[in-house]
Amino acid sequence: MSSGVAVDLENITIRFGDFTAVKDANVNINGGDFFSFLGPSGCGKTTILRAVSGFLEPSEGRVLIGGNDMAGIGPNKRPTALIFQNLALFPLMKVWENIAFSMEVAGASAAERRKRADELLDMIALGGQGDKLPSELSGGQKQRVAIARALCANPDVLLLDEPLSALDLKLRQHMRTELREIQQRVGITFIYITHDQGEALTMSDNVAVMKAGVIDQIDTGHNIYDDPATPFVASFVGENNVFRGKVKSVSGNEAVITTNRSGDLLTRITPAQVGKLAVGDDAMMFIRPEALELAPRDADSKTTISANVINEEFEGNSFSVFLEGDGGKQIKMSVPNLGQDRISVRGENLSLRYDASNAVTMPAGELASE
């Protein structure tokens, strides 16, 4: 199996008439990486995938696969294989014919094709199911057949366009693990498109978060969650509480911001924005629900927020407490269930504290819509 080929997007801009679907995207994907494009629907992530697969040419910029410029090279000539959102299995061909279709195109004999299809069927744990029709398989099995069909041509890069979106939750979670395993086994570059942050974070080596045609951040899933570069990333990936305010003082990567409700708060500046915040700027501070806890009496007021409880929900492994935040937004605090009966009473005024290292601040900007 190949060791994985790098994919580079250089200043890619893609326009459809007056509409700019992708704006000046620069992405370097290492060979053998599991790389995800994460963003809400309509953010241009599928358009990028189509530019890599060759179904459309970028209006500006270059797509490089393994260092080779792909301009003018059609989808059939690129070392990529695409898995469609609806899988696009051929319903009238048997499973093994589906898997070996690329070999049929290349003129391989039926015996050769059957042999390779059976090998791939064994790999995806569907040995002996080659003579069925796709319609006789379950959703997860079809999924695996689509992967086998794409892998049959020995592509250098596998492109996946939200292939798990049609599956139910349990199966989707199972397929995440399986996809990651398959990727590590075959060792080729996977480019994965999704709007589901859970999928992106669990499977990927690196994630690009996109908003309205623009890539906001490219980093590991861990860094994207902990150090979001923009308010959009902070609010799109995972749950987050936002506090608006003005910068009161800055020292290195720490800042104090003055919020409307909770006074002056100490916070960390997100790494991508260090040096870009000045005193008096509008800022947004984000604290994750799990980073908030009930404050002891002597807590430092610079890392304490007080708010009235709206209500409380029992989630099984945790309690979610919703409090009044600013601008009509609720503050959510997540408290692990360690056998407490309840955390709060409705209407009660609570003091919450956090570690300054768990609060990230950045210049104010657009949030992800719910």
Partner 1 sequence: MKKKMIFSDFFKNNGVVMGCLLIGLVSFWLIFLIILPQLSMLDYSFRFNLPPAEVGGPKDVYTLSNYQHLIYGSDTTHQTYNTVDLKVFVRTIIAAMLVTIFNIFLCYPLAYFLGQSKGSGFVRLLVVLLIIPYWINEILRAFALRIIFGDSGLLNEALMFLHLTSEPIDFIRQDIALYAGLGYAYILLMLFPMYNVIESLDRNQIEAARDMGASWMRIHRRIVIPHAKPGIVSGATMVFMLSAGALAAPQILGGPSSLWFTQLVYQWFNDSLNWQQGAAYAIVLLASTIIIVLTVMKIFKVNMGDIGK
The contact set with partner 1 (CB under 8 A) reads 53, 55, 74-77, 80-82, 84-86, 88, 90-93, 101-102, 104-106, 149, 153
How near is the Cβ of 327 to partner 1 at its closest, in Å? 43
> One-letter amino acid identity for 20?
T
* 90 vs 314, beta carbon nearer partner 1: 90
How near is the Cβ of 88 to partner 1 at its closest, in Å? 4
Contact between 266 and 256 (Cβ < 8 Å): yes
How near is the Cβ of 206 to partner 1 at its closest, in Å? 24
* 82 vs 237, beta carbon nearer partner 1: 82
How near is the Cβ of 263 to partner 1 at its closest, in Å? 56
List the Cα angle 46/52/55 in 5-degree steps.
75
* 137 vs 310, beta carbon nearer partner 1: 137
Alpha helices (runs of H) in the chain, residue ranges in sequence order: 45-53, 95-99, 101-106, 110-123, 139-152, 169-186, 197-203, 221-226, 231-236
* 71 vs 105, beta carbon nearer partner 1: 105
* 101 vs 286, beta carbon nearer partner 1: 101
Contact between 307 and 350 (Cβ < 8 Å): yes
How near is the Cβ of 107 to partner 1 at its closest, in Å? 11
* 40 vs 75, beta carbon nearer partner 1: 75
How near is the Cβ of 149 to partner 1 at its closest, in Å? 8
Q: Give the C-alpha separation, 68 to 359, whole Å.
A: 43
Half-sphere exposure of 326 (CA within 13 A, CB side): 15
What is the DSSP annotation of 283-319?
Answer: EEEEE-GGG-EEPPTT--GGGEEEEEEEEEEE-SSEE
* 105 vs 278, beta carbon nearer partner 1: 105
Q: Give the C-alpha separation, 244 to 327, whole Å.
A: 9
> One-letter amino acid identity for 280?
G
- The token pair that represents 26 in the structure block: 């620069």
- Mark 165-177 as b/e (b = at least 16 C-beta within 10 Å): eebeeebbeebbe
How near is the Cβ of 75 to partner 1 at its closest, in Å? 5
* 88 vs 279, beta carbon nearer partner 1: 88
- The token pair that represents 36 in the structure block: 């995800």
Q: Give the C-alpha separation, 215 to 213, whole Å.
A: 7
How near is the Cβ of 98 to partner 1 at its closest, in Å? 10
Q: Give the C-alpha separation, 203 to 160, whole Å.
A: 13
